Amino acid sequence: MSRCLILFLTLAAAAFPALAQPATTAPAPREVLVMPPGFQKVTVGDHTALCMPNDAQWVQGALTSIKPATRPTTMPSDLLTRINQKRAEVVKQMVTDLALPDDKLANAIFDDHLLPMLKKLDQLRPPVFFLICTREKLRELTRNGWGEPRYHYNRIANEASFDDNIPLSLDHPMGDTVLPAFYTDKQTPADRAANLSKGIAELDAVLMERIAQQSQPTVFGIVAERIGLTVFEPLKFRRDQQWIGLGITGYLAAKYAGELTPTPRDQWLKGMTFEDPRFPVSSRGIDLSHPLEVSAMRAVAVPYYNQALRRKAVAVVMTLAQKGGDTALTKVVAALRTKLPADGPALIKTIQETTGVDLSKEVAAQ
């Protein structure tokens, strides 16, 4: 039982979908638990098992003996604490870096977007139920039609098949997920209980780690998205000027995320500018002042090209910050708000006149 239980529950946790982007289509109807015939619920704390009445005693003992999973140090609650400590400092930096008239926009990033999303992530609890049975019993249940569409009887193989994915969502109610935990008739109740307790504890640890892994990217992603939408999108850049908005957004998001999360700024920047030789499009060959138009590319190539363009944009802005300091970025933002250059080459000239840094070589194709 132990190997089967751990295998299926761990695979289910590994199927945890990314949570960075909200759903763009209407969610499917929520799946609701349908009790298998003859089974009963046994609930202890946050865990609920479905079992036959003669298994209830050892199942309850197993659920009672589950040891709490080791807690990662980057859970959403940890980041919420850190953000509350660092918020005033970061808001002040945003106002200065982005040449904002006041702190209204910066505070809105926290109050309207970042904090609500982390609180949702912190409260994420998928409704999971553990089906305690033998493989033979599950085959009987599915043969009689129970569990569709997640569970299905394969008539050719004379076996039950099932979907062990745990669907998670932040923007609509999650459906009930039933995961099988098998035992054999030859095992003693004590062995069954020990294996069940161990398997569920390992699943708890995997799910907790998955949520923790989402926390820091969520902070970076929301900060970058809001800076891009509120500071640079209103400027209506031409395509040959968009790189400056992308680059400054990425650089500053890394700077702020370096304060709001345990990951330092340089590590965020390294991740954004890393040139993987396996990536279909190299950023080196892109001329930021004369980028390819979307209409000139095949649709399949557009996202790869845009990602490469973004990498190069961040790298060029890093060079600007190294030569002119972060104040150089502030000067550029203020200048662009005053008057938008005519085109890409004029943007390079504006940057040089404003900061004293010539980026013509850096933006050109290498």
Q: What is the pLDDT of residues 222-264, one digit of tens each?
A: 999 999 999 999 999 999 999 999 999 999 999 999 999 999 9
Q: Per residue in 351-361, pLDDT tens?
A: 999 999 999 99
Instruction: Return the pLDDT at 10.
Output: 34
pLDDT digits (tens, 9 = 90+) for 282-318: 999 999 999 999 999 999 999 999 999 999 999 999 9
Question: Quick one: pLDDT at residue 139?
Answer: 96
Buried b (16+ CB within 10 A) or exposed e, 315-338: bbbbebbeebeeebbbbbbebbee
Average pLDDT, the chain: 91
Q: How confident is the model at residue 159 (pLDDT cuts 50, 70, 90)?
A: very high
How crowded is residue 173: how many other Cβ atoms within 10 Å of its Cβ?
Answer: 8
- Confidence band of 168 (pLDDT split at 50, 70, 90): confident
Burial class (CB in 10 A: 0-12, 13-18, 19+), 104: exposed
Give the C-alpha separation, 292 to 365, whole Å.
12
What is the model's pLDDT at position 29? 78
Q: Percent of the chain beyond pLDDT 90?
A: 86
- Residues with Cβ within 8 Å of 202's Cβ and at least 6 positions away in sequence, in order, are 6, 9, 10
Who wins on pLDDT, 173 or 16? 173
Determine the pLDDT at residue 4.
37
Whether the pLDDT of residue 16 is over 60: the answer is no
Please tell me the pTM assigned to this model: 0.85
Task: Give per-residue burial for 23-62: e unless 16+ CB within 10 Å, then b.
Answer: eeeeeeeeeeeeebeebeebeeeebbbbbeeebbebbbbb
Q: For position 352, what pLDDT does the model report?
A: 98
pLDDT of residue 9: 39
pLDDT exceeds 90 at position 169: no
Reported confidence tier of residue 26, pLDDT bands at 50, 70, 90 = low
**Band of residue 27 on the pLDDT scale cut at 50, 70, 90:** low
Lowest mean pLDDT segment, chosen from 15-19, 139-143, 269-273: 15-19
pLDDT at 7 over 80: no
Query: Max Cα separation, the chain?
Result: 82
Element (H, E) at 318: helix 302-324
What are 320-349's pLDDT values in tens digits?
A: 999 999 999 999 999 999 999 999 999 999
Q: Name all contacts of 25-34 with Cβ < 8 Å and 24+ positions apart.
A: 27/169, 27/171, 27/172, 30/172, 30/173, 30/174, 30/175, 30/176, 31/150, 31/175, 31/176, 31/177, 32/175, 32/176, 33/127, 33/129, 33/176, 33/178, 34/146, 34/147
pLDDT band at 172 (very low <50, low <70, confident <90, very high): confident
Question: How many CB atoms within 10 Å of residue 363?
Answer: 25
Other CB atoms within a 10 A radius of the CB of residue 187 amount to: 15
Residues forming a β-bridge with 259: none
Q: How does pLDDT run across 209-223, given as a tens digit for each residue?
A: 999 999 999 999 999
Q: What are phi and psi of 112, to 5 degrees?
A: -95, -15
